[in-house]
Structures are given as structure tokens and as C-alpha cells.
């Protein structure tokens, strides 16, 4: 167990590291960030020390490791060599094995298949003939996804009736890809929860997610789904956490079919955008749980005390790279909470912040969120 004022090391310098650093500092921990971003990154703004270097810079990594007691990762795309070097010296939670599995679609899908966890049927392909066989077996439509480094819809191509496979494969040539059967889903949901190193779990409820341009746009908490769907989703989250022998906060994104079957879509071995509502609407938020799980503390109460709707704020809303929108509508609302990530420049589709609206009912919160989106000029 690592008690304050122990030092938490965070690999990565983005907004998830920022929100974790805020929770850690609030509880009396010291925080050291290791990131390949320039100085002054979102997480570094709240750290005791920010080390800026490539993840394969062993001298910088040794400096980081000498300054921390326990380590976690802010995002999953950390080179495996770095994770191995960290785990050889200091406790790493979640483990290198869990991050290694979930940072790569091929490994993630094969893990789900081995564990018997429900997901869309898929094939692994590495050339055009393999793609042709996969499409013939899975049917059209289906989706081609890069095996590595895909998020927010990047590295994906939908195959429809008139798609020319040779042309579609050009973007994937020379790499493994996952071809997934198309799921005609009724809605998308996710579950965020934490698992302690001793196997104890504290799971937030099921939330409903809306996406725009493959990027999360709105999260409705709790989700507007049946108890049967909620039960399946929670069972799937637990199956993933146990299968990975997970320690930390984790999100599992899922499809809900029209027949109310729930299928795992993706696993995020970290806090997640769809769990940001927990900061304002839950007894213990996802970042507090991450801190507790990583440091070996008892997990907190994850229950939601107020219906909430979270809205992502992308760089598209900014009038220019450095000029902010007028936040008055959000700040004037008595039950809206604005969270900005401290990024220096806004770019289209870049996550710059979010706001959460609390309501007496879910519908009340959703109506207010829609009104605030309109007031900010969000399409």
C-alpha cells in the first residue's frame, strides 16, 4: 500500500493524466509525469515534476523511475519496451500484460475469443487475399480496422456492397488488420469501473454514448436501456477485468443489438471519456478509483448520486486555435460543470474539454445539455 505523500508516476501527459494528477494532489500525493509531449502538457501543469523525453530514452526513464514509488499509464499506446522497463523496477498498475493486450486490436480480439466474451465475429488479415476471404465469410457490410494504434475512428474503413477491396486495402498494406462483422446496433453503451490488485471491484453503472465522426459526443448516465441489458453489460465488464487480472480503472465499450444482446467493442485500460460524468455525479469518480487501485488503497463507493449528461468539447467549437468560445451559457447554468484540459492550441476534432449537466431526472439533464450545446454552436 502506498500512502500519501508517496509519489505517483504517470506515463503520458494528456487530459486523463491531468485529471488523475488533480485527484492525487488533492489527496496529498506527489506526482511525476513522463511524456513525449513538449513541456507544459495538460498533466504536467499539475505535476511536481514533468519529464519530457521519448519513451525509449532510457536515461530519462531511469530518472523518472528513481523519483516515483508506483506507476500507471495515462493511455495505452506506450511502447512495450518502456512498459517492460518500468515493470522491472517499480509496481505498474495496470500491468504491462494488460496494457500490451488492449493496446492492439488483434491481441484484444483474440483475448476476447479465448475468454469466450461476446464480441462481433472477426478475422485477422495481413494481405489482400486474406481480406477477400474475410469479407466473403463475414459478409458485407463489415469493417476493416488497423490492428495497432487506432482510436476515435482512426484507421477504420467500412466495406459496403460497392467497395473495391483492392482499393480499400491500400491504406492497410504492410500491416495486420482486423476485419469485423458489421453489428446493426440499437445503441452504444460503456461501463467504467475499477478492480483492485486483490480482485475487489467497484463498478460505475451503464452509460449510453452518442458519437459524432467516430468521436464520443454525448454520454447519458444512466443509460436508457433495460435491466437485462444493464446486467449483461456489467457481467461483460467483470469478465474482461478478471480475464486480464486487471488492477486500475478500466472502460469497456459495447454495442447493444436490436435483440438486446450486448457485445464488447473495445477495451480501454485506463479512465475513459465516457466516465468523465463521474467527477460531478458519483460518490467516487473514476480518477479517484484509479488512484486507489494503483496505490493499493480500498476502492471507494462508485454509486451515482445524480442523473447527468456529459458533452465533449472539441476544437471545432473554438473560434481560432487560441481564442476560446464564450463560456457564459455553461457558467451561468446552476447545475453545469465546465472542465477544460489546458491544451495550448485548438484543432478540429481535438478533445479540448467537456461539460457535465446534472438534473433531477435524466431527461432534464439531457434537455439542458442540448440547450447548452446549441448555445455554444455545437452542430
pTM of the model: 0.95
C-alpha–C-alpha distance, residues 129 and 376, integer Å: 48
Closest by alpha carbon to 106, among 74, 84, 82, 134? Answer: 134
pLDDT value for 152? 56
Query: What is the residue extent of each domain of the chain?
Result: 7-92, 121-181, 185-376
CB burial class (10 A; 0-12, 13-18, 19+) of residue 172? buried
List per-residue pLDDT tens for the chain, 379 residues long.
999 999 999 999 999 999 999 999 999 999 999 999 999 999 999 999 999 999 999 999 999 999 999 999 999 999 999 999 999 999 999 999 999 999 999 999 999 999 999 999 999 999 999 999 999 999 999 999 998 865 555 688 999 999 999 999 998 988 899 999 999 999 999 999 999 999 999 999 999 999 998 899 999 999 999 999 999 999 999 999 999 999 999 999 999 999 999 999 999 999 999 999 999 999 999 999 999 999 999 999 999 999 999 999 999 999 999 899 999 999 999 999 999 999 999 999 999 999 999 999 999 999 999 999 999 998 7
pLDDT value for 112? 98
CATH superfamily, domain at 185-376 = ATP-grasp fold, B domain (3.30.470.20)
Taking the alpha carbons at both ends of the chain, their separation in whole angstroms is 47
Residue listed under C-alpha cell 482486423: 178
C-alpha–C-alpha distance, residues 26 and 125, integer Å: 47
Residues 6+ apart with CB under 8 A from 164: none
Domain covering 121-181, topology: Dna Ligase; domain 1 (3.30.1490)
Instruction: Return the C-alpha cell found at 91.
Output: 509496481
For residue 170, which phi and psi values (nearest 5 degrees)? -55, -35
7-92 belongs to CATH 3.40.50.620 = no
Look at the chain and count its residues: 379
CB burial class (10 A; 0-12, 13-18, 19+) of residue 258? exposed
pLDDT value for 150? 56
C-alpha–C-alpha distance, residues 28 and 365, integer Å: 33
pLDDT value for 174? 86
Rg (CA), the chain: 21
Handedness of CA 174, 178, 179, 185 (dihedral sign): negative
Digit-coded pLDDT (tens) for 265-308: 999 999 999 999 999 999 999 999 999 999 999 999 999 999 99
Please list the alpha-helical segments (H only) found in 220-264: 227-243
Amino acid at each position: 500500500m502506498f500512502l500519501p505523500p508517496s509519489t505517483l508516476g504517470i506515463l503520458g501527459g494528456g487530459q486523463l493524466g491531468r485529471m488523475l494528477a488533480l485527484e492525487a494532489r488533492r489527496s496529498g500525493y506527489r506526482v511525476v509525469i513522463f511524456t513525449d509531449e513538449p513541456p507544459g502538457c495538460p498533466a504536467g501543469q499539475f505535476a511536481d515534476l514533468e519529464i519530457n523525453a521519448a519513451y525509449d530514452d532510457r536515461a530519462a526513464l531511469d530518472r523518472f523511475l528513481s523519483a516515483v514509488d508506483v506507476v500507471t499509464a495515462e493511455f495505452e499506446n506506450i511502447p512495450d519496451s518502456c512498459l517492460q522497463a518500468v515493470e522491472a523496477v517499480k509496481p505498474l498498475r495496470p500491468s504491462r500484460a494488460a496494457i500490451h493486450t488492449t493496446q492492439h486490436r488483434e491481441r484484444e480480439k483474440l483475448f476476447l475469443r479465448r475468454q469466450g466474451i461476446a464480441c462481433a465475429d472477426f478475422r485477422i488479415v495481413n494481405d489482400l487475399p486474406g481480406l477477400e476471404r474475410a469479407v466473403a465469410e463475414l459478409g458485407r457490410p463489415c469493417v476493416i480496422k488497423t490492428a495497432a494504434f487506432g482510436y476515435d475512428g482512426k484507421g477504420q474503413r467500412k466495406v459496403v456492397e460497392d467497395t473495391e477491396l483492392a482499393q480499400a486495402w491500400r491504406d492497410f498494406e504492410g500491416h495486420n488488420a482486423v476485419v469485423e462483422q458489421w453489428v446493426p446496433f440499437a445503441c452504444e453503451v460503456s461501463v467504467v469501473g475499477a478492480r483492485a490488485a486483490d480482485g475487489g471491484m467497484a463498478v460505475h453503472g451503464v452509460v449510453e454514448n452518442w458519437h459524432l465522426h467516430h468521436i464520443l459526443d454525448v454520454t447519458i448516465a444512466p443509460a436508457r436501456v433495460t435491466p437485462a441489458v444493464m446486467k449483461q453489460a456489467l457481467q461483460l465488464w467483470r469478465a474482461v477485468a478478471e480475464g486480464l487480472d486487471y488492477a486500475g480503472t478500466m472502460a469497456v465499450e459495447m454495442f447493444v443489438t436490436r435483440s438486446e444482446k450486448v457485445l464488447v467493442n473495445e477495451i480501454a485500460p485506463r479512465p475513459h471519456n465516457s466516465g468523465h460524468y463521474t467527477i460531478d455525479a458519483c460518490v467516487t469518480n473514476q480518477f479517484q478509483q484509479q488512484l486507489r487501485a494503483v496505490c493499493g488503497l480500498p476502492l471507494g463507493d462508485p454509486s451515482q448520486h445524480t442523473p447527468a449528461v456529459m458533452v465533449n468539447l472539441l476544437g471545432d467549437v473554438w473560434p481560432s486555435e487560441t481564442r476560446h468560445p464564450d463560456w457564459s451559457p455553461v457558467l451561468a447554468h446552476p447545475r453545469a460543470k465546465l472542465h477544460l484540459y489546458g491544451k495550448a492550441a485548438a484543432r478540429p476534432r481535438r478533445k479540448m474539454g467537456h461539460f457535465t449537466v446534472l438534473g433531477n431526472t435524466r431527461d432534464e439533464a439531457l434537455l439542458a445539455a442540448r440547450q447548452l450545446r446549441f448555445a455554444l454552436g455545437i452542430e
